[in-house]
Amino acid sequence: MALTAGLSAQTAAPAKPANPPQEKPTFRLQVDLVTNDVIVRDEKGNFVPDLKRDDFEVFEDGVKQDITSMTVVTGGRVNNVLAPPPPPPPEGIILPRTRPRNDVSGRIFLFFVDDLHLQFHNTGRVRDLFKRISKELVHDGDMFGIVSSGPSSIAIDMTYDKARLEEAIKKIAGNELKPSDIIQGPSGSQGPSEVRYRAHVAFSTVNDILQNLETVHNRRKALVYVSDGYDFNPFQDARLGLMDPNSPFADRSVHTAAVAE
Q: What does the H/E/C string look like for the chain?
A: CHHHHHHHHHCCCCCCCCCCCCCCCCCCCCCCCCCCCCCCECCCCCECCCCCHHHCCEEECCEEECCCCCEEEECCEEEECCCCCCCCCCCCCCCCCCCCCCCCCCCEEEEEECHHHCCHHHHHHHHHHHHHHHHHHCCCCCEEEEEECCCCCCEEEEECCHHHHHHHHHHCCCCCCCHHHHHHCCEECCEEHHHHHHHHHHHHHHHHHHHHHCCCCCCCEEEEEECCCCCCCCCHHHHHCCCCCCCHHHHHHHHHHHHHC
* Residue 122 resides in a domain: yes
Q: For residue 243, is it within any domain? A: no
Q: What pLDDT score does 251 carry?
A: 41
- pLDDT tens figures, 10-59: 555 555 666 666 677 776 766 667 777 788 888 888 878 778 888 888 88
- Supply the pLDDT for residue 89: 65
More confident residue, 239 or 188: 188
CB atoms within 10 A of CB 167: 13
Query: For residue 228, with 0-12 CB atoms within 10 Å meaning exposed, 13-18 middle and 19 or more buried, which class applies?
Result: middle
Does some domain include residue 101?
no
> What mean pLDDT is predicted for residues 150-164?
92
In what side-by-side order are the strands of the sheet with 155-159?
155-159, 143-148, 108-113, 221-226
Task: At 74, give phi and psi (nearest 5°).
Answer: -130, 115
Burial class (CB in 10 A: 0-12, 13-18, 19+), 143: buried
| In a domain? residue 205 | yes
Overall number of domains in the chain: 1
Note the pLDDT of residue 233. 72
Structural domain boundaries enclosing 221 = 108-236
Domain contains 124 = yes
Give the span between the Cα atoms of 169 and 161, in whole angstroms: 14
Is residue 170 domain-resident?
yes
Q: What is the pLDDT of residues 185-232, one digit of tens each?
A: 777 777 788 888 999 999 999 999 899 888 887 778 899 999 998 887
Q: pLDDT tens for residues 64-116?
A: 888 887 877 765 566 777 777 767 766 665 655 655 555 555 789 999 999 99
Give mean pLDDT, residues 136-159.
91
Does a structural domain hold residue 19? no
pLDDT value at 250 more than 70: no
The verdict on residue 155 lying in a domain is yes
